[in-house]
């Protein structure tokens, strides 16, 4: 019987530094697109399954015991660990393979919140995506930028006796399929998406665009969650601000970088909007405000607590954030842009209402996000 480890267990081992090694037996193209990644580095090697089986005797001598063997859905790794154990090496298989890893969500509590409020930053390691729950125990909560798996958010809210009353997508995402409409429908919440981002100015499911400065009602008059329009990554990007505490910046500002402005085909115009967002909307805020984005790019952006966060003060130490010449800012942002994946246009259309099968969605979501214009901050 194959020895299996779940995605949750593997993440913990990586986080604790106890995972000795990962042997990824997918083909080289799949491995090049994305790999298993946790909050800390782990030794890893790619040997396609057909090569691993043929060279199992040598491979068994080169990897340590308790190596985790990874394939796309778990079938190939189940086969290989039996072969490797015949060669005297005790290894494990990742249950469900990278398909199961792609669905892993890891919640971590947020510390810097007003009294009476709780929150979680919820990491999706396979996509380097971040979503959030903010609310009042026994009252209401808001879910921001949810992944396409509603149940973990429902369960986490229920754990604290909170009703999900609002679901917000800070923008129409290009790198992953949003779970916002499905989650809102399941729990009867109000769904919010920027009107400016939706294809044709509308989406085919009920939604209420958030106005600039609008308060999201969490059932406690002492706690304010404000929507702030901060365009630049997309035409209608929204940030969620808890004044004096934190701001969820979506893809506008990352721990190390700014959101790329080219995904809607308006690079120069949106780079100009991003300049004004930085100087007119972000710069006046309290510099002690905690910044929590919707993505990370580099492992260096994950702190010792496993959180992806920084402060406005730290962000404004970057030259690009204090550049006063708009033309120079635009030139630097556009000049640093890597090529965007071709399928990002399709993901945006799906998030704006275009139909897609489960198989198409799984394929579209392969690989980490590439939403940052630069990581030089």
Task: Show which residues are catalytic.
Answer: 71
Residue 290 DSSP one-character state: E
Of 78, 38, 33, give the one whose Cα is nearest residue 362.
33
Q: Please report, in angstroms and rounded to a whole number, the separation of the first and last CA atoms in the chain.
A: 49
- Compute CA distances 171 → 74, 145, 199, whole Å: 34, 8, 12
Note the helical H segments in the chain: 7-16, 28-33, 49-54, 56-62, 75-86, 97-101, 151-159, 180-187, 267-276, 312-315, 326-335, 344-351, 358-364
Neighbours of 188 (CB within 10 A): 9
Cα(139)–Cα(43) distance, rounded to whole angstroms?
Answer: 44
Q: Which residues contact 282 (CB under 8 A, 6 or more apart)?
A: 230, 253, 312, 315
Q: For 121, phi and psi rounded to 5 degrees?
A: -95, 125
Beta strands 22-24 and 44-46: pairing type? parallel
In degrees, rounded to 5, the angle at the alpha carbon of residue 280 between the alpha carbons of residues 277 and 286 is 100
């Amino acid at each position: 019987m194959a020895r299996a480890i779940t995605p949750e267990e593997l993440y913990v081992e990586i986080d604790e530094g106890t995972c000795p090694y990962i042997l990824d037996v997918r083909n080289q193209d799949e491995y090049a697109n994305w790999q298993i990644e946790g909050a800390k580095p782990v030794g890893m090697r790619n040997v396609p399954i057909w090569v691993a089986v043929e060279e199992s005797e040598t491979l068994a001598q080169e990897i340590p015991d308790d190596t985790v063997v990874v394939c796309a859905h778990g079938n190939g790794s189940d086969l290989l660990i039996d072969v490797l154990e015949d060669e005297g090496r005790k290894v494990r298989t990742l249950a469900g393979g990278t398909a199961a890893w792609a669905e892993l969500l890891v919640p971590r509590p947020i510390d810097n919140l007003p009294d009476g409020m709780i929150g979680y930053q919820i990491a999706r390691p396979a996509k380097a995506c971040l979503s959030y729950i903010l609310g009042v125990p026994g009252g209401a909560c808001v879910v921001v930028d949810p992944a396409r798996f509603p149940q973990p958010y429902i369960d986490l809210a229920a754990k604290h006796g909170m009703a999900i009353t609002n679901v917000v997508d800070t923008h129409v995402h290009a790198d992953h399929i949003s779970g916002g409409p499905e989650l809102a429908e399941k729990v009867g919440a109000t769904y919010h998406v920027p009107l400016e981002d939706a294809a044709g100015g509308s989406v085919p499911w009920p939604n209420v665009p958030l106005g600039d400065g609008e308060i999201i009602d969490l059932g406690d008059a002492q706690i304010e969650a404000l929507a702030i329009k901060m365009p630049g990554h997309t035409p209608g990007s929204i940030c969620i601000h808890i004044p004096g505490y934190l701001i969820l910046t979506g893809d506008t500002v990352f721990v190390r970088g700014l959101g790329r402005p080219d995904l809607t085909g308006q690079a120069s115009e949106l780079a100009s909007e991003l300049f004004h967002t930085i100087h007119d909307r972000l710069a006046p805020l309290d510099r002690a405000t905690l910044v929590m984005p919707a993505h990370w790019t580099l492992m260096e952006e994950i702190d010792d607590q496993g959180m992806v966060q920084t402060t406005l003060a730290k962000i404004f130490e970057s030259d690009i954030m204090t550049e006063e010449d708009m033309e120079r800012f635009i030139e630097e942002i556009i000049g640093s842009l890597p090529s965007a994946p071709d399928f990002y246009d399709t993901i945006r259309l799906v998030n704006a209402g275009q139909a897609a099968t489960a198989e198409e969605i799984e394929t579209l979501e392969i690989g980490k996000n590439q939403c940052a214009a630069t990581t030089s901050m």
